[in-house]
Amino acid sequence: MGDVLVVNAGSTSLKLHLVSPDEISAPVDGLAAVDAVGVDAVAHRVVHGGEAFVRPALIDPAVRRAIADLEPLAPLHNAPALAAIDEAMEKLPDVPHVAVFDTLFHTSMPPEAREYAVPRRWRDEWGVRRYGFHGLSVAWASERAAAILGRPAADPRLVVCHLGGGCSVTAVAGGRSCDTTMGFSPLEGVPMATRSGSVDPAVLIYLERTHGMDAGAVDHALTAESGLLALGGSGDMRDLEAAARDGSGAAKLAIDVFCHRVAGAVGAMAVAAGGMDAVVFTGGIGERSPGTRAAISSRLGVLGVELDPARNEAVDGDGDIAAQTSAARVLVVSSREEVVAARAARDVVGS
């Protein structure tokens, strides 16, 4: 099979990559340009596969309906993905289109990591459980981390920190997800750019009962008005770091809360993985913010993590930034989730 077009529709962006058979990827400038691109298949990243999808799926009307049915679980993500699917299938009707789900990597989570302690009907009839996300990114980061360490892919115990607009921390052992911070939706876990991360459920009840906020208002506040934006005035870590250097207490608080929560999650995920051979930073913040990596790593000294400051500042692309004496390696991996999606599409079409 020749080139695969990978369509990654986020909540606020659309990214396209053309991935060659030897896994060289190149960006494509919008769906309007796809007519001029010769492709043999299209892979669509879809955030939430729910319980309906445990493997990538060739998109037909039934699969499209099933993805639409999952929209209430990830309205910020599945709706844009469906819109991109429809547009791409209209522009490229003669090639196979494959849905690749971010939840798939986490289907290996054991029951103790997957289940909430909620009534059985919620779990059995309504699908209220932990699904996990950022699976394509974590899969690539885990593969690259093993290569950097010079070990087989299924060997190292890893904690992968995908830190960007959305953020999650995942335990990986045996090449499989053991636990992760995102759960039923991409809202759970550590704070993010505009998402709150986990909050006490009683807060939501209090807001409804005492302040008259309905579900829509609470949902909007937690997904679009919270996180780094609420604490520091910006959802962009670069802006916060600049403001903190200029003396902004709010920006410093936002960074401190973020790094504190991420470091705590790394500790929890190290337990889930049965130990930690390396902590891996990926995503926009993880790859490009030496200050954030340093602040998180400094909180992990209790786990024997020690950063090399010069390596941390100098790394460009993939690399090991831990000190020689560190009990666990600290790795930076450039996200290439489009490669994982393209592989999945090739497997589906080939079979």
Catalytic residue positions, numbered: 102
Token duo for residue 182: 């995102």
Question: How far apart, in whole angstroms, are the C-alpha atoms of residue 156 and residue 142?
Answer: 9
Question: How far apart, in whole angstroms, are the C-alpha atoms of residue 60 and residue 267?
Answer: 42
- What lies within 8 Å, CB to CB, of 123 at 6+ separation is 115, 116, 129
Question: How far apart, in whole angstroms, are the C-alpha atoms of residue 192 and residue 267?
Answer: 18
| Rg of the chain in Å (alpha carbons) | 20
Token duo for residue 96: 């196979």
Q: Hey, how many other C-beta atoms are within 10 angstroms of the C-beta on 314?
A: 11
Closest CA to 3 of 20, 15, 16: 20
Q: Hey, how many other C-beta atoms are within 10 angstroms of the C-beta on 221?
A: 16
Phi, psi of 125 (to 5 degrees): -100, -30
> Packing angle between helix 337-350 and helix 135-149, nearest 10 degrees?
110
Q: Residue 169 to residues 132, 137, 165, 270: CA-CA distances in angstroms?
A: 10, 11, 13, 10
Token duo for residue 179: 């636990």
